[in-house]
Amino acid sequence: MTGEAPERDATPLLSVEDLSTEYAIDGRVVRAVTHVSFSIGRGQVVGLVGESGSGKSATGLSILRLLPREGRIAGGRVLFEGTDLAKLPEADMRRVRGGRIAMIFQDPMTSLNPYLRVEEQLAEAGVLHLGLSHRKAVAEAVALLERVGVPDASKRAHGYPHEMSGGMRQRAMIAMALLGKPSLLIADEPTTALDVTIQAQILDLLRELVRERGLSVILVTHDLGVVAEIADRILVMYAGRIVETGSAREVLTRPFHPYTLSLLRSVPRLDRRASRLESIAGMPPRLDRGPFTECTFAPRCPLVREGCRAREPDLAPAGPDDRRLRRCILAPDEVAR
């Protein structure tokens, strides 16, 4: 059940091994992430998709140990450039965050200090992580704002976050993330709060940065379309588990897990009208009720059969030398007809 072989580089940049994350809520233990393994190579974009409560954000937060007070990593390793981040002392972890690994979130307004000029908060990363002088860090911040497409960058840098539009603030967040010269960017729903025309611009920008700087990106999103636009590989999560993974194009055109298939069919299409959308009956299982003795998707699965109730399937290759993994006992042909 360990992850796949890295695709481009002999040693992956990040390799998450058997990660489990728990939240203690009202005396109950909610297992938000269960035995998640994957790796990401340099210059790769991995899309982590799923619906609310699937564990996609918790996975991203676990990597940087940014879990809220009630959350903890219950097991597994997070190997980044040879170090297990799960065991790193907090002081060292702080140097990783915003340095080698940066993170951006859905709402740039809550990530920016409204009382500080944009240049002040951007420069902080340069002073802290690169040891630049304040003046140099500000110059670097302005240069990066220009790079990410903020018009009148030096004027904007001197202003406050509320004077910027949502799209500009997200660009500023990306500039701030880049300032520490990260090799990995974790982007949690970075375009979800933005209008589509602005979202398209931000996705273009991320694509350019990947090409230009060899940046690796973990893109956490609920939007399969966004993944199709930008990701090399996809991890589909359900109930805290990876249920399917492989090249984004392959998985999205020919899913091998019934959940991926149902999810794809429930998205209305822009290019044609369907008489009915396929919806998924019921709701995901409660994650404080584990461990599960059956496939977690079985209660909602349109293709469920006897064997699905016997035990939870492993994340296994879809075929003899298949690089694609899925957590389902059905043969690929039985799912993707």
Cβ burial of 70 (10 Å; 0-12, 13-18, 19+) is exposed
What does the block give as tokens for 193?
């709060």
| Category of 20 on φ-ψ map: left (φ > 0), alpha (ψ -120 to 50) or beta | beta
What is the Cα–Cα distance from 302 to 36, expressed in whole angstroms?
A: 25
Degrees to nearest 5, angle at CA 49 with 95 and 225: 115
Segment contacting other proteins by CB under 8 A, of 12-20, 112-120, 212-220, 248-256:
248-256
Among 223, 288, 294, 322, binds other proteins (CB under 8 A): 223
What is the Cα–Cα distance from 40 to 16, expressed in whole angstroms?
A: 9
Residue 276 binding other proteins, by CB under 8 A = yes
Segment contacting other proteins by CB under 8 A, of 10-18, 24-32, 64-72, 274-282:
274-282
Residue 70 binding other proteins, by CB under 8 A = no
| Nearest distance from C-beta of residue 7 to other proteins, angstroms | 17
| Nearest distance from C-beta of residue 202 to other proteins, angstroms | 11
Contacts with other proteins: how many residues (CB under 8 A)? 44
Residue 222 binding other proteins, by CB under 8 A = yes
Residue 51 binding other proteins, by CB under 8 A = yes
**What is residue 296's three-state secondary structure?**
coil
282 or 291: CB nearest other proteins: 282
Inter-residue long-range contacts of 105-111, CB under 8 Å, 24+ positions, other chains counted: 105/173, 105/188, 105/189, 105/190, 106/188, 106/189, 106/190, 106/192, 106/193, 107/193, 108/161, 108/166, 108/169, 108/170, 108/172, 108/173, 109/161, 109/162, 109/166, 109/169, 111/173
Among 268, 291, 306, 321, binds other proteins (CB under 8 A): 268
Interface positions, 147-166, toward other proteins (CB under 8 A): 151, 165-166
275 or 293: CB nearest other proteins: 275
1 or 267: CB nearest other proteins: 267
86 or 251: CB nearest other proteins: 251
Residue 196 binding other proteins, by CB under 8 A = yes
Residue 195 binding other proteins, by CB under 8 A = yes
HSE on the CB side for 93, CA within 13 Å? 15
Give phi and psi for 205, each to the nearest 5: -60, -45
Among 137, 219, 248, 325, binds other proteins (CB under 8 A): 248
Segment contacting other proteins by CB under 8 A, of 76-84, 85-93, 246-254, 289-297:
246-254
What is the Cα–Cα distance from 24 to 134, expressed in whole angstroms?
A: 41
Which residues are at the interface with other proteins (CB under 8 A)? 51-52, 151, 165-168, 195-201, 203-204, 222-226, 228-229, 248-249, 252, 262-264, 266-274, 276-280, 283
